[in-house]
Structure 1
C-alpha cells in the first residue's frame, strides 16, 4: 500500500510539474507577442500565430449595443507597424489565468491600454493556442474594450 501511495504522489507531482511547465511556456509566448507588438515587429508577430488566426474584438457601438468585430491579422499587423515611432502605446497585462490540456491552451489576460502615457481603455484578452512541434502558436484572439469599470494602476 505504501508503494502505491508513493507512486501516486510521484505521478501526481510529475503531472503538476509538466502542467506548470506548459503554463509557463504559454505565458512566455504571450509575453513575447506583446514585446513584438510594442516594438511594432511585424515579422515576430506573424511568427507567433498560425496562418489562419482569428482576431476579434467585443465592444459597444455609439448606441450602446454590443458588437463583435472581426479583423484580418495582416491588417492588424500593418496598422501596428504604421503607428508613428514617436507615439507611445502600451498594453499592460495585469494578470494571467492559463489552462492547458495536451496541445491546447487558453489564456485569459486582463489589460490596460495606455497611449502617450494616458489611460485609454481596459478589457480582457482571451487567447487560444495550439502546440505544434513543441512550440505554442496563437490560433484565436478575442478581446473586450471598454472605458467604464476600469481601475487603472498608476503609470
Structure 2
C-alpha cells in the first residue's frame, strides 16, 4: 500500500505544472489567440521586440521573419485562422529561460491547412515571460486527425 501511495504521489507531482510552466504556456496560448483574433498588438505583447519567427518546410532553407512583420501579416489577413496544440506540449524551464515544444495544427477558414511542431524559446523579463524565438515546421501529411 505504501508503494502504491508513493507511486501515486510521484506521478501526481510529475503531472502538476508549476506556476512558471502555466505562465509560459499562457504566453504561447496568447500568441495563438492573437493569431485567431488577427490581433497584431496581442501577438507583439507576447514577444520581445527583437523576437524572430522561423518556418521550416520540407525543401529550402528555414525562413526567418521579424515579429513586427509577422504580426502585421496576420493582422492584415482576410481569412479566419486557428492554431492549436494537438497534444499537451513539453515545457522545460531553468531559471529565466524556458522552452516549449509541441505538435500543432493550423486551420484557415475552418479547413485544415497544415500541421507540424511549434517550438518557442522564452525569457523571463521584468514584464513576465516573453518569446524570443518561435519556430515551426510546415507539414501537410502525417498529421493527427487527418
TM-score by length of 1: 0.78
Aligned match of 2:100: 107
Q: Relative to structure 1, is the Cα distance of residues 31 and 59 closer, same or farther in structure 2, using a 3 angstrom cutoff?
A: same
Q: Hey, what's the Cα distance between the residues in 2 that align with 1:27 and 1:38?
A: 16
Aligned match of 1:33: 31
Q: Which runs of 4+ in 1 moved over 6 A?
A: none
User: Structure 2: any 5+ residue segments left out of the alignment?
Assistant: 1-13
Aligned match of 1:81: 75
Aligned match of 1:56: 54
Aligned with residue 40 of structure 2, among 39, 42, 47: 42
Larger Rg: 1
Matched, 1:92 2:84: yes
Q: Hey, what's the Cα distance between the residues in 1 that align with 2:115 and 2:75?
A: 22
User: Structure 1: any 5+ residue segments left out of the alignment?
Assistant: 1-15
Deviation, structure 1 residue 66: 4.6
Aligned match of 2:7: none
Name which of structure 1's ranges 119-128 and 30-39 shifts more when overlaid on structure 2. 30-39
RMSD of Structure 2 on Structure 1 (CA): 2.2
Deviation, structure 1 residue 67: 2.5
TM-score by length of 2: 0.82
The size of the alignment, in residue pairs, is: 133
Deviation, structure 1 residue 38: 0.9
